[in-house]
Amino acid sequence: MTRLSEALAPLAARMPRAVRDVEILRVAAQLDGDDFAAATEQARRAVLAWAKKRAGGPLPPEAWEMRDFDLPRGGRNSSAVRIETDDTDLWALRAEDPDKDVAGRVWSTEVVIGGKLGERPHVSLRLITSTNEADFQIEPHVPGLVLQLVDGPGLVRGGRVLGSIPRAIESENAAEDLCDHLEDPERRLPLFVVTMPEGVSDRTLIADEVIAKATAGIARVVRVPADLTWILTRRFGRFRSVFGGAVRVYMPGFSPADDPYRHRLFLAEHLASEEGSAACAVWLRKTAADISVTNTRLGRSVLDFTMVRTASRRLRTDRVREAEAPEAELLETARELVDSLEKQVEEKDKEIDGYIEVAEAAEARAQEAERENRALLYQVRQLKDVLARGGDTPTTEPPIPQEWPEFLDWLDQTYPDRIALTPAARRMVRAPEFEDVALVARCVSWLASEHYDRRLEGGGTLRDAAVESGIRNALCGGDEYEAEWNGRRHVVDWHLKNGGNVRDPKRCLRIYYFWEPDTQRTVIDHLPAHRRTGAT
């Protein structure tokens, strides 16, 4: 089976990729206002005004009357349904909008507004994209519609108003309230606490206003001045606090006894550079979007448009049947119900494909973490054995591997804390065509020694650094690309290479890697041969 898949790989690469649905984010909130009719009317009209700009033309009269409509316009399709019973009023809209820059990518926004009459109305939103891109990557941003709803009639989550600008903490009472909110077991949104550096009162080290706008409705951004961060330290201790210009992400479920490493901390030193600040902003946006999907359930806090449409068709069919309508009308409503069910199944199939990809990526990360843990435990046991015998710390390393089956065991045992391979790279070294295994191992040793020391302590440029005769370290330049590692995107911008324009995979050496500053490790994503690209 493996040989068959390998033989078909070149053919599969030339075939058009199937379109898949990727869910980007979900918003679940309540409308701010006790008057059900007034709040829902204002929110629904705001949604229609937003949808009109993307529909490629005017919406039909039924839209502004809050009745069902379908408006097919080739990539800009819009649809709405409404369910009204004695105690419920639910209105849902789905609008499609082609991406302005990427051909074949279509954005779909689903909004559902309403609920039980007499109660505070609910609003849910889903942002989905349909794409055939093999490597789909974006920096998530809530649709502008969410910002409109925040401005009016307003959104509420967990009894607290949602905003699109950072909440400024200006008093000790406000800081204590922030601590109470962090510990609230009912909190469902991540909270990004951004602190100001000492002696600074007018800026932060990241663009928190941009982040607050991009994550409105799916996260809360709070800005804390330096002279009030001591309250967080007093409540939670230094390991769970944040201060000095740093940024901390407090996940839902936080408590003073929680594992501090579950709530990621970005130190001021990391944010001081433009690159570090930008990387933090991207991570915050992606984390908020991911949590919005994983921490909400369809059918409860967030409703699926296809489910609402099917329920509407089923309710209409039941009413027609109870009214003993003519057979032609019965057949028409039954056909609409069947069509709705078929569309629901089709869309769910595409969603399932997307969930499978997410699950596979999570499984790969878990396997890598378990592999690293085993390697580190092995080293700890070695050191404990040496200490128990009263001897010196072992300095000898396993011999350089001469065959590919020995390579991964050698790497995991020798450099578990300095070198990591992505799952893709691990697959590549099982049986590659490149013949000189020892050369690859020596290059990895250079990355774990001289390269590692220069990264941490300086001592000369890494650009065109000599590894050994005929091998040098170089920037990828136009060949740099992005790769995923432990749930984050990184730019693979360096590689080790031998001289000449050799393309023979038996002799052409390329080791593509990036430096991961948080764990201070080199992560290799592609080896030992030249990486194939669209151009090659």
Arithmetic mean of pLDDT, 322-345? 68
Indicate the pLDDT class of residue 482, thresholds 50, 70 and 90: confident
What CA–CA distance (Å, rounded) separates 268 from 197? 8
Report domain extents, the chain: 2-157, 163-294, 404-526
Q: How confident is the model at residue 488 (pLDDT cuts 50, 70, 90)?
A: confident
pTM equals 0.70
**Is 513 buried (19+), middle (13-18) or exposed (0-12) by CB count in 10 A?**
buried
Residue 244 near residue 198, CB atoms below 8 Å: yes
Q: How many angstroms separate the CA atoms of 380 and 439, rounded?
A: 29
Query: Residue 360's pLDDT band (boundaries 50, 70, 90)?
Result: low
Q: What is the pLDDT of residue 289?
A: 95
**Which is nearest to 364 in space by CA: 281, 310, 427?**
427
| pLDDT computed for residue 156 by the predictor | 96
pLDDT at position 343 is 67
The per-residue pLDDT for range 149-165, each reduced to its tens digit, is 999 899 999 999 999 99
Q: What is the pLDDT of residue 315?
A: 77
User: Which fold is adopted by the domain 163-294?
Assistant: Glutaredoxin (3.40.30)
For residue range 46-96, what is the model confidence (pLDDT) as tens digits? Answer: 999 999 999 988 999 999 999 999 999 877 999 999 999 889 999 999 999
Q: How far apart are CA 3 and CA 26, in angstroms?
A: 41
Average pLDDT of the chain is 85
pLDDT attached to residue 496: 95
Q: Give mean pLDDT, residues 396-423.
A: 85
pLDDT at position 461 is: 81
Q: Which residue has the higher pLDDT, 433 or 320?
A: 433
Using DSSP bridges, classify how beta strands 220-224 and 167-168 pair: parallel, antiparallel or unpaired: parallel
